[in-house]
Chains A and B, each alone.
Chain A
């Protein structure tokens, strides 16, 4: 069974305190791994897509990396506006490639 887990469940950081979020997956055939940000009461907002082990993507204070079993979202010198829930999703199956399995998310709080 395809499965995605994320850790930690919740993370509190001081402004400027860098850290990493983890996304571990066991899937039959990975087509892509996606990171989203979700603010309370809103739909997920796309951040990154990674397709192969070793790939890295960066955007402002965020950097996503991918290995064969997991992905990390590194947050460098976070600011309070980075507070949100971060979701990881894997794209699986070969039929139409539109089956996505999401992890439960990591709730990040950045304190001023």
Chain B
């Protein structure tokens, strides 16, 4: 089954404690993205990756890091989480070319930073 998986699905942590949210896709997609979703603000893109070792900032990259060492994986790293990073996070993947950019989203990771 074609899918995007994220782990963990729920996470409670404390300010400053480094964490990683994993994302994996099994569709051989070149593009992968991370979003955060906050009430009233909608989905905002954090980072995206065009292929292995190629990443770029989205609209809200501050406080986040990403890496793309393998095509299927795109982890999101919070080196020193702060309460304003409490949010619902989604990973998405897609392929290039008109008609193929449909993004497939993961189930989401709900993060609470105390």
B104 to chain A, nearest CB (A): 7
Point out the residue from B40, B42, B48, B105 that lies within 8 Å of A43, measured CB to CB: B105
**Total interface residues in chain A, CB < 8 Å:** 26
Q: B56 and A96: CB pair below 8 A?
A: yes
14 residue pairs of the A-B complex, CB under 8 angstroms, read A32-B101, A34-B103, A42-B107, A44-B43, A49-B99, A51-B98, A96-B96, A98-B48, A98-B94, A98-B101, A100-B103, A101-B59, A102-B35, A105-B42
A39-61 CB contact bits vs B (8 Å, 1 = yes)?
A: 00111111001010000000000
Complex alpha-carbon distance, A46 and B96, angstroms? 16
Q: B50 and A42: CB pair below 8 A?
A: no
Chain A residues with CB under 8 Å of B101's CB are 32, 49, 91, 97-98
Of all A-B residue pairs in the complex, the 8 with the closest CB atoms, nearest first, are A43-B105, A102-B43, A104-B42, A102-B42, A46-B102, A98-B48, A96-B50, A44-B105
Q: A42 and B56: CB pair below 8 A?
A: no
| Chain B residues with a Cβ under 8 A of chain A | 4, 31, 33, 35, 40-45, 48, 50, 56, 58-59, 90, 92, 94, 96, 98-99, 101-108
Q: Is A89 part of the binding interface, using a Cβ–Cβ cutoff of 8 Å? A: yes
**Of B41, B43, B45, most A-chain CB atoms within 10 Å:** B43
Complex alpha-carbon distance, A50 and B52, angstroms? 29
Complex alpha-carbon distance, A4 and B104, angstroms? 20
Chain B residues with CB under 8 Å of A96's CB are 31, 48, 50, 56, 96
Complex alpha-carbon distance, A42 and B113, angstroms? 21
Complex alpha-carbon distance, A41 and B9, angstroms? 10
Point out the residue from B40, B58, B96 that lies within 8 Å of A99, measured CB to CB: B58
Chain B residues with CB under 8 Å of A89's CB are 43
Point out the residue from B44, B90, B102, B104 that lies within 8 Å of A49, measured CB to CB: B102
Assess A43 versus B33: contact at CB under 8 Å? Given A51-B98, A97-B101, A99-B58.
no
